[in-house]
Structure 1
Amino acid sequence: MTEEPLTIVTTVADGVARIEWPAYVPASVVRREVAAALTAHARVEVLLDPRDETAQRVAAWAGMQREGTMRGVTVSGEPQDRLVYARLASDVPLEDPQSFRSLLNSFLPRKRAIGQMLVRDDQDRVLLCQLTYKKDWDLPGGVVELNESPRLAVSRELEEELGVEIPAGELLLTDWLPPWSGWDDAVCLVFDGGVQPADLAAELVLQPNEIRAAEFKTMAEVRELAADFTARRIESALARAHGRGAPYTESGRAHPEA
């Protein structure tokens, strides 16, 4: 009688092995088999059902980092999503504390950060940008890159898209943006760009792929040109610039208890 193997390791590409295991197999066995496979491969990976939390824990304790989601994998004739976990021969040894931190970092939640700047003129109008990729106007700024300071990110965005150097001042507002129209949720940080000369808008050098126009607008004009949640965020940030209002909002709205 042939004993059923506890794990199945298959070479799927040059230097790449794919491992599978039944639900009853403990993490210690998978960890041992992954280590053995790495003696002959540079990479060992596994594709897991997103609903199978037990298998995900086993993969993590076996030292495999979560890399993302492979969409539309054919399983039993049907397209299904699969989580990709993998360990490389070059990864830090499991007994090193950095390895544990890297494992956690691979699957703990990550939230997108957006940096924006509130720039005003002496009439308390707000610098607003007409973007090429959506109809609504918005504050200048953009997505914070991986491992980039949000404060530096917003100044970088202004320099790249408007050709102006304005150091980011005080953090005026933290605004949480719920999931919307294909986007995951995000946190928007609005920094103070201070009061600038009214003729600044005429001197801006616009990045044509991103910005159609940039002009100082009154709050009444902001409400006409911007999405409602953007207008609420700008109004909240403007209030903060004048020492009023809450420092934290959700979709531009302060918490009722704030």
Structure 2
Amino acid sequence: MSAEPEDFEVQLRAADGVGVLEWSGRASQQTVDRAVSLAADDALIVRGLRRVEVSLPADDRMGRRALQRAGFRLEGRRREALELPDGTLSDVVLYARLASDLVYGPGGFTGVMNSVLPRKRLIAHALITDPWDRVCLLETTFKDDWELPGGIVNPSESPWSGAVREIDEELSLDLSVGRVLVIDWLAPYLGWEDAVELIFDGGVLSQQQIDAIVPDPGEIRAVHWLAPDKAAEKMAPFARGRMLAAVACRLGGGTQYLERGLPRRD
């Protein structure tokens, strides 16, 4: 039985150093791979464009595979941007390849995979107490529940460095944190995607250190020192669970893994 004839064409529109690839027709994966790769090489190497981009339906697996094999990076997603013939809506994904991108070899492969594989948000907080074992809680300007000092870790920043930076930004406190007390997986919540949180041991502050705290007025409404049970009453349920676990780990040793602020039950 003979294979179906292939009728696949790639077109390039270019302006101001940027090219846009579009294609039509049907073909095998091998043919699509080759056509997209040759078109991208022609645009960036022969024609001297600095960038080539492609928009396509998110469920176009063949097209996405061809782009990734040709060294294109995933740059974004337009939600429900395309109405399909049956009336359903599809997301549209944007891929691009720059003339300066590394395409071939291990570095090219990992660069592409880095753009398409999932990424998780990472949060670093610290358990900081005073000489009377009261927990430092921050009342912020942007939410009702109170939280431990710390925040979201920046790209290419280590969790330890993120915790130290956030404490400095929030409290003007130059503080080195210690070991990890708690690792917690945060489920999706209020529009946030899931994340991983680490709670470091921020140690016991002296009265002199406490007196030197200057809260960031843009983010911190007040700094509170509360016994762990009283602190828990001011926190969201999942946040209080990991705070109490952190207190227990400081006292008893070890590091505890949680999910949604609770010990995992297998």
Query: TM-score, normalized by length of structure 1?
Result: 0.90
2:3 is aligned to none
Letter in 2 for 1:135: D
Return the offset for 1:246: 5.7
Match of 1:15 among 11, 14, 17: 17
Partners of 2:226 and 2:62 lie apart in 1 by 54
CA distance in 2, matches of 1:23, 1:171: 54
Q: Distance in 2 between matches of 1:45 and 1:23?
A: 20
**Rounded Cα–Cα distance in structure 2 between residues aligned with 1:16 and 1:195:** 56
Name the residue aligned to 2:217.
208
Change (3 A) 1:226 1:199: farther
CA distance, structure 1, for counterparts of residue 264 and residue 22 of structure 2? 47
Native 8 Å contact 2:126 2:200 kept in 1: yes
Find 2:233's aligned residue among 215, 219, 224: 224
Aligned: 1:150 with 2:159: yes
1:162 aligns with: 171
Instruction: Give the letter aligned to residue 122 of structure 2.
Output: A
Whether 1:66 and 2:74 are equivalent positions in the alignment is yes
Q: Give 1:103's aligned amino acid.
A: V
Cα 1:140–1:5 shift into 2, 3 Å: same
Instruction: Please say if 1:29 is aligned against 2:39.
Output: no
Residues 23 and 242 of structure 1, relative CA distance in 2, 3 Å threshold:
farther
Quick one: which amino acid aligns to residue 47 of structure 1? S
- Offset of 1:223 from its aligned partner? 2.3
Alpha-carbon shift at residue 201 of structure 1 (Å): 3.9
| Distance of 1:166 and 1:48 partners within structure 2 | 48
Structure 2 contact 181–255 (Cα < 8 Å) conserved: no
Deviating more after overlay: 19-28 vs 178-187: 19-28
Q: Which shifted more, 106-115 or 193-202?
A: 193-202
- Unpaired stretches in structure 1, ≥5 consecutive residues: none
TM-aligned CA deviation for residue 145 of structure 1: 0.5
Correspondence 1:190 to 2:199: yes
Calculate percent identity across the aligned residue pairs. 38
Helix, strand or coil for the counterpart of 1:190? strand
- Aligned alpha-carbon RMSD (Å): 2.2
Q: Is the 8 A contact 1:115 1:143 kept in 2?
A: yes
Paired residue total: 253
